[in-house]
Amino acid sequence: MLVFILGKTHMRFNDCKHLKPQIKMKTDLSVYEIQATFCRAMGHPVRLRMLHLLNEAGEPLASSSMLEDLGIAKPAMSQHISKMVSVGLIRTSRRGRFTYIQLAHPEIGQACGLVGCALSRHAKEQARVFES
């Protein structure tokens, strides 16, 4: 098991051998196409910030409170939510007049944390290169 520490957040990653698809990856490109679509949906700074907020909260958040944190217009927020729901990054639910948003799976937050760890490591390596 790997453990990554980001600030006060401890993220644990178990061996994911049990998650291997039951198809041959070398011959079936559709798996990679699905993964690419999933990753493209994460490829916007506002969406990444939304995923970070949801991961940090650990529970569903009201879209109205996220709107304030993100500082974007309501139509833009709606488009980001729609894109992320369509690929399975997040789920929404209605409670009275409010829409609540949550990560579809905890591994999505962990994946964002891994990317953050990799970027942090890369930045440190680049800093060493410039120091020498």
Give the Cα separation of 63 and 95 in Å (integer): 11
Residue 3: predicted pLDDT: 35
Among 69, 66, 60, which Cα is nearest to 93's? Answer: 60
117: Cβ–Cβ under 8 A, 6 or more apart, which residues?
A: 4, 6
Report the predicted TM-score, pTM, of the whole model to 2 decimal places: 0.72
User: Does residue 9 have a pLDDT over 60?
Assistant: no
Furthest CA-CA distance within the chain? 59
Among 57, 43, 56, 130, which Cα is nearest to 89's? Answer: 43
User: Does residue 7 have a pLDDT over 50?
Assistant: no
Over residues 68-109, the pLDDT tens digits come to 899 999 999 999 999 999 999 999 999 999 999 999 999 999
User: Does residue 60 have a pLDDT over 80?
Assistant: yes
Over residues 12-53, the pLDDT tens digits come to 444 444 444 444 555 577 888 888 998 999 999 999 999 999
Tokens at 132, concatenated: 């020498």
